[in-house]
């Protein structure tokens, strides 16, 4: 069941690109943007991640922490981070348990082929751990404008 605004955000602990654990509960008291992306280093995911990188000061200006989550292994997200100089937490959800908990893992279809994967979705989680906004099927090039608009209250 997909989560929506007003729902409590499920807690999680996942390794980042350096293999260090990152827990949502450790960020309580801050606004957290959790964006789920299908696969590191693909064109859309690269556009989205580089957009977050390029808008780092804007996100910091709102006081928000951004976490990218994909079903890739730590090594893959480490390479992605290194190649593009992303320098924000990219989390490895290899068993897609967190994607399942947030309702963004399921059957997808592309070019007539069916497979299991992540639906590109972004959650804005308030300091109290409650989901404030959800952006589903986000277009990578529009991601930052939508999310930063929500964070600024526009």
3-class DSSP state for residue 47? helix
Give the count of alpha carbons within 13 A of 20, CB side only.
5
Give me 138's structure tokens.
């986000």
Name the burial class of residue 79, with classes exposed (0-12), middle (13-18) and buried (19+) by CB atoms within 10 angstroms of its CB: middle
Domain ranges for the chain, please list them.
Answer: 13-151
pLDDT at 154: 61
Of 32, 45, 67, 125, catalytic:
45
Q: What is the pLDDT along the chain (154 residues), one digit of tens a residue?
A: 789 999 999 999 999 999 999 999 999 999 999 999 999 999 999 999 999 999 999 999 999 999 999 999 999 999 999 999 999 999 999 999 999 999 999 888 777 888 788 999 999 999 999 999 999 999 999 999 999 999 998 6
Cα separation, 33 vs 55, whole angstroms = 13
Q: Would you call 45 a catalytic residue per the annotation?
A: yes
Class of domain 13-151: alpha beta
pLDDT at 146: 96
């Amino acid at each position: 069941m997909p989560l929506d605004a007003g729902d409590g955000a499920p807690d999680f602990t996942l390794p980042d690109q350096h293999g260090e654990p990152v827990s949502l509960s450790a960020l309580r008291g801050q606004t957290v943007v959790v964006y789920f992306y299908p696969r590191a280093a693909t064109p859309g995911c690269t556009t989205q991640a580089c957009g977050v990188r390029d808008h780092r000061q804007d996100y910091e200006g709102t006081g928000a922490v951004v976490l990218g989550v994909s079903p890739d292994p730590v090594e893959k997200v480490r390479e992605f981070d290194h190649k593009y100089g992303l320098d924000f937490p990219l989390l490895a959800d290899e068993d897609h348990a967190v994607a399942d908990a947030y309702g963004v893992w399921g059957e997808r279809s592309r070019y007539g082929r069916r497979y299991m994967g992540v639906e590109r979705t972004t959650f804005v989680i308030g300091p109290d751990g409650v989901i404030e906004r959800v952006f589903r099927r986000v277009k990578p090039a529009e991601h930052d404008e939508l999310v930063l608009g929500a964070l600024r209250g526009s």
